[in-house]
Structure 1
């Protein structure tokens, strides 16, 4: 490798988590892989972080993003955390196949974690091989970058690497590593790990770190730890509201997958709605619909209650007072989530002002979409052309999604009266709606097709093409229209998998 080039590409690391107590993590180097191949480098993100993608060859970057070579300033470690998985507490999970390389201060002055996922066994691997299959690596790259482009807070993918080695899952598969970038990787489960061990010193240390790093305004309140709870709850409420707005189903909302930074994290059995129904589940491991699309707000509140339990001794020395104050904060957050969701949905309908009756307007539309199995993405996108239309027949894109369009007529009249009351120009309303309702999402069947082509045939063209499309989700263009098409019956995806 060209050491001089890599030295010149040294990122600006400031590893604050690695300076905390070593009770929080285990230092661990990545396990080298045999023949790393860089499949994609996220050039805009690399430049934001301070990397010049052209400073080294793809082969040299492959060595870095496979963990075969550490850049100056990297201090790899595996983070400790626990978690409630499908409601059941597991006292030790941790980074079983991931390593935090360090925290980078980017060219924009923002601090971000740099993490390898699939880099080998750690002390938290619990018998696993610590590796990742290529398919889940490509899925995380596609979907996390799509979420970022959709404006949803998310971890991001900096690089995808094929390792040149095989992993055994249900069959032998090619291995991969994704380099993940996040505001941080601290989770509700991180707090649970230490609270379960009654290690209040570590809980306090973590809380102070999260406040300093993510919610510095919390110290201005009467109780910084209660303010931390409120801030994390507010961030989760706003995040889940945006999930609902784009039809995203996380699939595995365990507490170890809840980022305290308010980002979408861990793209395992995730999926997007095709036909709308609130009970939709894709995850193969969600046998009872705990994490169904419409259940996500309730589960978010449940997860926040687990976080609150960890903070109770810090909120107040009197347990009853602490429970009362935390409960009040979480009950108020249910209203925050509802307000955030209504803000998202109003924007999707082209509305700028909040009026009584808006929630019923949204719910009535969703009921029509559910009853007629309308495509979630295309129905909202098609509404833009129905602004000012006398009936659905004048909005052919909308008409396509509703087999019984007459049922839409009454709703359209109510909606149009509501728009008329705001007296916005029709062109302005349509432009706003097209900017809030994507044309292209990473449709599940397209994601699966791209993964199958790469894994089974070694063909990465569908993967690259799909990434390029979903990174510009609002601009209509003929070359991307294959991503706007709902699946045919034989293409329909009914289950998605974790890949662990």
Structure 2
């Protein structure tokens, strides 16, 4: 167990390591030859109150490159709080259960306890830091492309207001990673509320039984849902735990829908119980709207398509509920009544999981309602709400028919009447459906008026991004850096995407509004392992 480093700034601990070697394995990262900074997130470091020696210094360069034995690092008192661990987990990958996966190229370095708030704790993890016990023959490294993608997209998601892991640092390794061709290598430092996944619970259930599932659940409740400690011990607390995780997943996926985000690989090992977007492999944002958009190169059957994300979230949560079954079915210790009570508990959990569509509908009403100017759907009458969401669903269907750009369409709707060239009807006039849109637009305005909503434009301006990290732009950034190490486009995009709701003049960044030309489209993305 790591020593605790107390200082006026952040406190570094390693509470997850206290769960024991069943859940994680102490593993040293593999040093790299010539680490160089790609990026360091000073604003995030400040928000976390990281010690000054970890803020873009030579010491932090050694730490975030995995060179833990560097001479100017090993003597730092902070080194005592660093205990790199590869985490164990299982997971359903495209519906098929793999009983052991784990961090094959990632290491949890430490946890940061934010000063003045002992309940706020975040993980700091390296990705691409070399092989671990879970690498399954892989090199544990990452090409620079996936590191740039995750840095850009995770930070953009944060500024979009979507729950997400974040990027603290990116370091070039000075070495090549060999895939189909040699590529420059890099290491990402990721910050997350934690790295506990549904797959972590599946691993505990598959290999450790009830005792390990209970240990993990109690830790997760203490860390992420401390108010549940007020619930009675046993089944009531674990049932409430399940429902809280469900609520966070409903909110997360509804927020994905709001911004047009396709995760691409919603396996249970990529589903964080704390409701953050995690693992930015084959992800992308929709350009021309299609509810069945798929980007992942390995999702041949469209399991994780845009429209299927709520259903997959429910499926994943059902797998989570299965792991909690022995904690909730307290009477299973009674052999005579085990089968009867087991069936009752399964039925009870099934009923809870079947509540997810209604839970998601409510979360969607909030997230998507904001896109159309409604800050609180609960303030609408049932009749007005029904008519509004009938209009909303009709607009999405027509967006797909007309192949309109998702982001530009809602940005135009947001600015309707405010800018001469921003009017929504001007934007859709190139379609063959102008009469539909004219009628739809009038009905929408009439509903807002009927509901006495006077702040619709302000609500929409904070819900409809004008700028998103479009897939072709990310690809251009990656190709530029791979070709000659030029980070100028990386920083330009990063800066612009940090203000996604900017409706004023964009100056030299106006071109980032544009969807891809036919020869610029990037239809497939990859996991990047």
Partner of 1:359: 389
Q: Which moved more, 1:181-190 or 1:460-469?
A: 460-469
Specify the alignment match of 2:91 in structure 1.
Answer: 83
8 A Cα contact 2:10 2:115, kept in partner: no
2:335 is aligned with 1:322: no
What displacement does 1:15 show?
1.4
- 1:48–1:107 CA contact under 8 A, matched in 2: no
Measured in 1, the distance between the counterparts of 2:241 and 2:230 equals 11
Normalising by structure 2, report the TM-score.
Answer: 0.89
Q: Per the alignment, in what secondary structure is the counterpart of residue 22 of structure 2? A: helix
Give the equivalent residue in structure 2 for 1:461. 488
2:336 corresponds in structure 1 to none
RMSD: 2.3
Q: Which residue does 1:18 correspond to in 2?
A: 17
Q: Which moved more, 1:230-239 or 1:346-355?
A: 346-355
1:338 to 361, 368, 377: 361
Aligned to 2:137: 127
Per the alignment, residue 441 of structure 1 pairs with 468
Structure-2 separation of matches of 1:55 and 1:131: 23
Pair 1:108–1:249, CA change in 2 (3 A): farther
Corresponding residue for 1:97? 105
- 1:214–1:261 CA contact under 8 A, matched in 2: yes
Task: Measure the CA separation in 2 of the matches of 1:28 and 1:401.
Answer: 58
Match of 2:221 in 1: 211
The residue correspondences of 1:395-406 to structure 2 (distance < 5 A) are: 395=424, 398-399=427-428, 402=431, 404-406=433-435
Shift of 1:152: 0.5
Instruction: Measure the CA separation in 2 of the matches of 1:405 and 1:307.
Output: 47
Q: Which residue of 2 aligns with 1:64?
A: 63
Please tell me whether residue 292 in structure 1 is matched to residue 302 in structure 2: no
Aligned to 2:248: 235
Q: 2:271 aligns with which of 248, 258, 281?
A: 258
Report the Cα distance in structure 1 between the residues aligned to 2:317 and 2:186, rounded to whole angstroms: 33
Q: Take 2:262 and 2:452, find their aligned partners in 1: how far apart are those partners?
A: 35
CA distance in 2, matches of 1:57, 1:228: 38
Q: Which position in structure 2 is the counterpart of 1:275?
A: 288
Query: In structure 1, what is the equivalent of residue 337 of structure 2?
Result: none
- The Cα of 1:393 is off from its aligned counterpart by 10
Instruction: Find the aligned partners of 1:470 and 1:139 in 2 and give their Cα distance.
Output: 13
Which residue is 1:3 aligned to?
none
- Structure 1 residue 386: Cα displacement: 2.9
The equivalent of 1:27 in structure 2 is: 26
Shift of 1:217: 2.5
The SS at the match of 1:416 is helix
Q: Per-residue deviation at 1:29?
A: 1.4
Tell whether the 8 Å contact from 2:199 to 2:269 is kept in structure 1 after alignment.
yes
Instruction: Tell me the distance in 1 between the aligned counterparts of 2:373 and 2:516.
Output: 28
1:88-145: CA deviation from partner (whole Å, max 9, x where unpaired): 0111100010000111012463210000001111001111101111100000000000
Decide which of 301, 309, 314 is 1:301's aligned counterpart: 314
Q: Does 1:369 align with 2:378?
A: no
1:52 deviation in Å? Answer: 5.8
CA distance in 2, matches of 1:401, 1:281: 26
Q: Work out whether residues 10 and 51 of structure 2, in 8 Å CA contact, stay in contact via their aligned partners in 1.
A: no
- Please give the per-residue CA displacement for 1:146-204, whole angstroms capped at 9, x wherever unaligned: 00000000000000000001111111111110000000000000011121225211111
2:268 and 2:91 map into 1 onto residues whose CA distance is 5
Counterpart Cα distance in 2 of 1:182 and 1:264: 9
Q: SS at the partner of 1:22?
A: coil
- Contact kept in structure 2, 1:48 and 1:108, CA below 8 Å: no
Gaps of 5+ in 1: 1-5
Change (3 A) 1:52 1:209: closer
Counting matched residue pairs gives 492
Measure, in 2, the Cα distance between the counterparts of 1:462 and 1:403. Answer: 37
The answer (yes or no) to whether the contact 2:294–2:302 under 8 Å persists in 1 is yes
> For the residues of structure 2 that align with 1:324 and 1:387, how far apart are their CA atoms?
53
TM-score with structure 1 length normalisation?
0.94
Q: Which of the numbers 458, 480, 488 marks the counterpart of 1:431?
A: 458
Tell me, yes or no, if the aligned pair for 1:147 and 1:154 is still in contact at 8 Å: yes
The Cα shift of 1:358 comes to 2.4
| Cα deviation, residue 59, structure 1 | 4.2
Find the partner of 2:323 among 310, 317, 326.
Answer: 310
What is the CA-CA distance between 1:396 and the residue it aligns to? Answer: 5.7
Task: Give the C-alpha shift of residue 61 in structure 1.
Answer: 2.9
Distance 2:292 2:285 in 1: 13
**2: CA distance, partners of 1:397 / 1:156:** 38
